[in-house]
Structure formats: C-alpha cells, structure tokens
Structure 1
C-alpha cells in the first residue's frame, strides 16, 4: 500500500521541516520484515508508553500541594482552580493544534521535544520566585506548560494507528493508556519524596518530577520510530491482514490538510458527539482528581500525606480499570466502544455516590477505597473516546481527530472541573458539587448511546471488508 505524500508519511514538510515525517524507504525482504516488525512494534510501544508517562510527572502538580498552599496563605481554592484551569485549557487547544502538526511530523522528535519543554516550564515554577509570588504569572507559566503538554498525545496516537491494527487496537491502546496512571501514580510518589526531603517545600513537587521527565524524554527519543513504511516495512493493515474501520479516501490526496480536517473531523457528526461526551468525562475525571486532596483534608480530616495518597490511588487504580475496559471492548463487546463506555459510566456514577454519601465519621480508608474505585472506572471511558477517535477517522487525520475530542474535554471539561468546581465548592458546598458530578454521568451515558448508532455502522463495514479479504 503506497501512501501519498499528504498523509503524514511522505515528503510533506509542513510548517516545521525539521519535524517532518520521514518518507517511506525501500521495502525490506520478507525474511527481514518477519524478524524486524515484531521487535520494532514492541520497541515503539515502550517508547510511547514511557514517554507519555513522563508527561504526567509534570502535567499539573498544583493540586498535590493545594492544601499546603492554602494553609500557607499563598492561594485560595479559586486561585488553585484558576492555575489548574490555565494548564488544562492550554493543553486542550494545544492537543488539537499539535494533532494537525503531528499527523505530518516525526513522532520520534515530536514527543521528546514537548516533554523537554514542559520540564523547563516546571523548573521555572520551582526556581523563579516571581512566579509563585503572582497568581497571574503562575497561571501564565502553567498555561505555557499546558501548551507543551499538548505535544504528548498526538504522536502517541500516530504511532498507535500506524503500528497496531483495528482488531488489536482496543487492547493495545488500553495498555498504552495505563501510562496515564503510571505517571500519575509516580508523581505522587515523587511529590511525597520531594516534600520529605525538603521539609515540605512545595517547589520540590515541581523540580524533582521535572528532572525525572528530562531523563524520560531522552529514553523516548531512542525508542520511538515514526511509521513502519519509514523503516522499510509494510503498512500494519497489510502486515496483519486487518483493514481499518474507516479507510483513507484517495480523493483526499488532492485536498489541503485543513480541508481534510474540516471534512473528516469538524463536519463529522461522530467526532462532534465524541467531543461533547469528552467534556463530561473529563469534568468527572478532573473534578474528582483535582479536588481529592482538598476534599479529603477539609471534609475527611486527612493529612497532606493522606490527601496525596488519595490522588495516587485514583491514578493507580486506573491501571486495572483501563486494561479491563480495553479487553472488554475487544472481547466482550466485539469492538463496540460505546456500549463498553456506558457500562463503565454507570459504575462510575455508583462509585461517586458512595464517595459522597460516606458518613464523615467513617474511617479515612473508606473514602480512599471509594476514590480508588472512581479512578479505576473513569479511565476506561477516557481511553475509549480517544480510541474511538482513532478508530472512526482516516489514519491521516487520526491525531487531529483525537486532539479535537481533547480540545473539548480539556477546555470546557477542565473549566467545569477546576475553576467551575472551585466556585461551586466555595458558594454552595460539597453536596451540590457531587450532585453536579452525578448529572455529568447521566449526560455522558446519553452521548454514548447516540454515538453507538454511528459506531455500529462502522463495525459492520469493517466486518464486510474483513470477510472480503478472508
């Protein structure tokens, strides 16, 4: 299968020539392909897994020391929400715009560069006193950090669609998605270590993870390769005899990149619905995660270490939930991601209700168990929406499609989760906040049900193409 130069694997240089995707090289012989393909698949997978986990070490560490900053009088709940929101909104816009660049860029360069720049932003927070002295400046630096963070997901999505085919992508994506939780858990460990080594100096929560992230960026560079074709290998569809759910349209080769984006993303009903669903999935994810340390401190009487433990358990539990969700979507629901998402969201709603309604007199471990279950369940739908964007769009715009859903999730969902919830907590209390979170669950289930109709059409088309090849 020969790729055109406009699909991100050819000679389209795009806006930044040094980042341009490498062109296909001369095809290797069959014996070499048989030996090299499996090894490279494992290598590039490890590269995007380790690399993306590195982004979560330095994404938005302000919630980890939120209660400490409040106690020290540096910030209040609204200020923490504003700073967190700045990072998440920037990430949402960057994820979409970076996706349009990443679809034509070399993933081997794109991901490590973004991680290095994000690490620099975190070092600035830690070592430039003027940043922490000004809410506005703090928010600006975290906005910049969020922008560099947006360079992480798109190259990973690009690698997934080029190296892993449709009938294995649910499981493979769910395993990769665990990088969220590995990084999220690891930053909790690094934060606790940094605070203990510096006698609760909050800056350690920024500089120590940043130094580790720099090392991770170097490792990712040595592991990642862009596409199979650039390594002299056949496309993944040819290698595994597994066609894509949505095939590339030959007519798109005559269109500009933005024309293809408008056609397959901005005017695509399914992508729009996925983006809207993502608003509420991310509002739930960050609505619980961002505020868990503060909620456990204010309502459950947890210490700073106890609040960080809740944050880390939320992320750690996501590993099991994500893997289970990916397996179920491939094996139990036979590739239907929407029905899988509905099942997990109903369970999320139940876990949130338990977290909220647990009596304040109950031991802290009861609340920690509840937040662990929420983390274990919500990352399934988080992963599924990104996977559906990859599955239900041509691979030449896969990164852009996933970035589009992320744009809605992080910009609108982040607003609801950070500064929005901060306002609700300050003015109406935690009870109203939890009712709002449960409403988000219901809305997400409705969107998944609508998306399911479109997904069934794509699944049936994929089965017909598979039967034809057989």
Structure 2
C-alpha cells in the first residue's frame, strides 16, 4: 500500500505582499474597467501624497510658539526639523526596496496613518516636547514613515501609466505636495485660532485629517492592473517600456540582486543620483536664502522676502506641469532633453538674479525668483520620473528612492550649511558661482544620460 500523498505546501503571504495576478477579464470588461481604475488610483496617490504634507514637518510652522512654550532654542528647533528630513532621505530609499515588493494600496495609507499617529503622540504626550533629544527622535520616526509615500506612488505610476503619458501624469501628481503644504497652512491656522494659539493644535488637527485621507486613499488605490485581471499598461496602450527584463519563474532573483544590478551598479541611475544632488542644492540654495539675500544685498524688507518665497513655490506648480507636458508632447518621452533645456534656463535666470544692478526695483528680483522656482521644480520632478522610466518596473520605486537619498542627504546639506558657510567666509558671489556651476553640471550629466536614454528608446520601439 503506497503512502498517502502530502498536500502541496502553500506559500504564506504577508499582508503587505503584492497580490498575485488575477485571471484576465474579457476584452469588453477591460475596456469598461481600465479607465475607471486608472482614474481611481491616480486620485488615490494624489490625495494620499498630499496627506503626507499635512504632517511632515509641522515643527517649523509653529516654531515661535513652540519655543515660547517649551524653552527650546533655535538650535534645538533646527535639530528637530532636520531629523525629519534626514530620516525621510534614508527612508525614501530603504522603504522603497520594501515598497517594490508590496501592495501599494496598503503601503501608502499605512505610512500615512503611522505618521499621523506619531504626530498625535507629539500633541498629546507632554514629555515628548520636554527634551530636544526625545522630540528629535520622535520626529525622526515620523520622517521614516513619511518615506513610505513616494515609493508607493512611483510604483503606482509605473504600473498604471505608460511611458509616453507618464511625464504629464507625474507632473500633475507631483503638485500634490503643494496642495498638501497649502492644506497644512489652512488647517493649522484654523486649529490655532480655535485653541488660542496652542501649538499642539497644529499637530493633532492635521493628523486627524491625515487619518481620513489615508482611508480615502486606501479606498481608491489598487496595486497593479494584473492584480485586477487587467493587461499590463504597456499592452493596454501599445506603448513599450524603455527598460524591461524577462524573469525566469523558477529562478527569480532576490530583491538584493535586483537592487544591486539595476540600481546600485546601474550607471544611469547613479548619474541621476549625482544630478539630483546639484538640483536639490539649487532648489534649496535659492529658496532657503531668498529673504536673507534680498535683505543683505538688495536692501529689501522682510515682507518682500516672504513674497519672493511664496512666488517661488507657486511658480513651481506651473513649471512642474509645463515640464511634464513638454517632456511628453514635444520631446516625446526624451526626459534628458527636457532636463537639459530647463537647467540651462535655470542657469540663465540665476545669472540674471545674481548680476542684476543694485539699483534695480525689488519687484524685478521677485520676478526672477519666480522664474527660477518655475524652472527648477520641473527637473526636481523629472529626475524621479527618469529613475522609474530608466529602470525595470520591479525596482522603479527603489531607483527613485536612491536618487532622493542623494538629493536630501547631500544636496539639501550643501544648500543650507554649504551656502551659509560660503556666504559668511567667501561672499555671495562665490555662492552664486557655485550654484550656477551646479546648474551647468546637471546639463552635462543629462547629456551623458541622454545618449543612453535614446538607445533604450530605440530598442523599445524596434
């Protein structure tokens, strides 16, 4: 008598694991469902990503009230605020390696909900604000959860929107951070008004809104078209990806092998990361020093500096949208060409801002600040888009996170501490010379990347 056959072992899947493909729907169902699903997932990542900006770094917004109530000084506020950005830069890469194998529908809302809980903790637990070290540690944790937003959004974009439309769609999605930041201002102002300027209200009220946003994002989002019984986006829109790989189902590479081969040792991705250092140095090198430069060199009032700050950000929305549209419609998916154009214009606008005669009306400086903001935010978006365009979709979020890691840890540091040291010891001319060199450096790097990008585009359509 033969021994009984053991049942086949089943693979246990974690709740975050990406769902397997479902059986393909009929052509009629695909035509009916696909457009609706695409709209839904786009709104999910737009609303969800905006939600992260409601609770990213509320410390800076209420710093004067916080300092008055707790006795924390300017140095302490800086340490607490920087803890968020430092953690975010790290998390944007390391959590992306998890996100690329996870269900985006769970990953993004979970990160947003956890970040909201951390902010509620700050508002309701008194001993958090009693120590700079504890406060900075808690905000570091907040920054880590914040890093779960971009990778999940990038994964969604690369799976639901094909190459020749992704520039425009990504540029629209990227404005979510402006929407979220504006929403924080409105929510915090209302909460402070209700509570007679209790700084804790600027944490707990936006956090409650963020929890609702997380629920809405979960309701709208889906992981991949295949998990819904739909064809891959490249097939649906007859638009092949620039980079694709064939996987052997029996010998599927580990995540580390994917990351090592297609990110860490990928010359194009590494060059994009270096370019992102220069782009972030320019972005924050101008933005963070607008009020100081206009006051020190142009003799402007503080109100003029704040006006310049606001116009820089608002112009960034228009510039981001324009950059995405131009990269799709005029350059036809050739992102490097768009990046070279925008960065060359940034260099010219920066020179005009720097070399403007001292007697010129202050409004000209403010207009030039707006022009720089409108131009620089396009490449900020574009480098993340190129990272997901020029890497296999299996590691798209990780590739984008890798470029963000360099941008935040190195570029933002150069923009704050670096520019400050140059201005103090060498003067504004040296600082502007270095920033202009950064812009031209990005143009040169994009020219090198562009040659490889053209090869990939020709191969994809051959």
Shorter-normalised TM range = 0.7 to 0.9
2:240 and 2:373 map into 1 onto residues whose CA distance is 34
How far apart, CA to CA, are the structure 2 residues paired with 1:363 and 1:117? 48
1:340 corresponding residue in structure 2: 338
Q: Deviations over 1:315-343 (max 9, x none)?
A: 33222111110111112122211121111
Give the Cα–Cα distance (whole angstroms) in 2 for the partners of residues 352 and 198 of structure 1. Answer: 43
Structural mapping, 1:70-109, within 5 Å: 74-76=72-74, 79-109=76-106
Aligned-partner Cα distance in 1 for 2:125–2:421: 29
1:56 aligns with 2:53: yes
Distance 1:80 1:432 in 2: 29
Closer, same or farther in 2 for the Cα pair 1:120/1:288, shift >3 Å? farther
Is residue 2:215 matched to residue 1:218?
yes
Which residue in the other structure is 2:37 paired with?
40
* CA–CA distance in structure 2, aligned partners of residues 171 and 375 of structure 1: 19
Q: Does 1:150 align with 2:185?
A: no
Provide the rounded CA distance (Å) in 2 between the counterparts of 1:150 and 1:260.
Answer: 20
Supply the distance in 2 between the matched residues of 1:135 and 1:429 (Cα, whole angstroms): 33
Q: Aligned pair in 2 of structure 1 residues 13, 460: CA closer, same or farther (>3 Å)?
A: farther
Q: How does 1:416-431 map to 2 (within 5 A)?
A: 416-424=414-422
Moved more, 436-445 or 156-165: 436-445
Residues 133 and 350 (structure 1 numbering): CA distance in 2 closer, same or farther, change over 3 Å?
farther
The residue that corresponds to 2:6 in the other structure is: none
Are residue 257 (structure 1) and residue 251 (structure 2) matched?
A: no
Matched, 1:394 2:361: no
Q: In the alignment, what sits opposite 2:279?
A: 281
Relative to structure 1, the CA distance from residue 416 to residue 79 in structure 2 (aligned partners, 3 Å threshold; closer, same or farther) is: farther
2:456 aligned to which of 452, 455, 458: 458
Structure 1 residues without counterparts, runs of 5 or longer: 1-10, 465-470
Change (3 A) 1:230 1:237: same
CA spacing shift, 1:215–1:94, aligned 2, 3 Å: same
Give the whole-Å Cα distance in 2 for the aligned partners of 1:229 and 1:355: 50
Q: CA deviation at 1:314?
A: 2.9
8 Å CA contact 1:47–1:219 kept in 2: the answer is yes
Cα displacement (A) at 1:86: 2.3
Deviates more, 1:145-154 or 1:357-366: 357-366
Pair 1:314–1:122, CA change in 2 (3 A): farther
Distance 1:429 1:69 in 2: 33
- 2: CA distance, partners of 1:428 / 1:197: 47
Q: Distance in 2 between matches of 1:421 and 1:211?
A: 37
Q: In the alignment, which of 374, 377, 386 is matched to residue 376 of structure 1?
A: 374
Q: For residue 111 of structure 2, what is the aligned residue in structure 1?
A: 114
Equivalences, count: 449
Q: Deviations over 1:169-207 (max 9, x none)?
A: 111111211212222333344455555556665555444
In structure 2, the gaps of 5 or more residues are 1-9
Structure 1, 138-147 or 49-58: larger mean CA deviation? 138-147
Distance, in Å, in 2 between the alignment partners of 1:79 and 1:358 is 37
Partners of 2:192 and 2:286 lie apart in 1 by 23
Distance 2:177 2:143 in 1: 15
Partner Cα separation in structure 2 for residue 421 and residue 203 of structure 1: 33
Structure 2 CA distance, aligned partners of 1:444 and 1:79? 34
Say which SS state the counterpart of residue 19 (structure 1) adopts: coil
- The yes-or-no answer on 1:123 pairing with 2:101 is no
RMSD (Å) for aligned C-alpha atoms = 3.1
Q: Which has the larger radius of gyration?
A: 2
CA distance in structure 2 between the aligned counterparts of 1:420 and 1:159, rounded to whole angstroms: 36
Residue 175 of structure 2 aligns to a residue whose secondary structure is: helix
Aligned to 2:3: none
TM superposition score normalised by structure 1: 0.85
Structure 1 residues 290, 126: CA separation in 2 closer, same or farther (over 3 Å shift)?
Answer: farther
Q: Secondary structure at the match of 1:87?
A: helix
Query: 1:360 offset after TM fit, Å?
Result: 7.8
- Equivalent positions of 1:293-304 (< 5 A) are 300-303=300-303
Q: Distance in 2 between matches of 1:362 and 1:83?
A: 39
**Change over 3 Å in CA distance of 1:382–1:442 after alignment to 2:** same
Distance 1:126 1:320, change over 3 A: same
Distance 1:423 1:206 in 2: 33
Partner residue, 1:181: 178
Distance 1:266 1:453, change over 3 A: same
SS of equivalent to 2:414:
helix
The DSSP-based 3-state class of the residue aligned with 1:250 is: coil
Query: SS of the counterpart of 1:254?
Result: coil
Q: CA deviation at 1:308?
A: 5.9
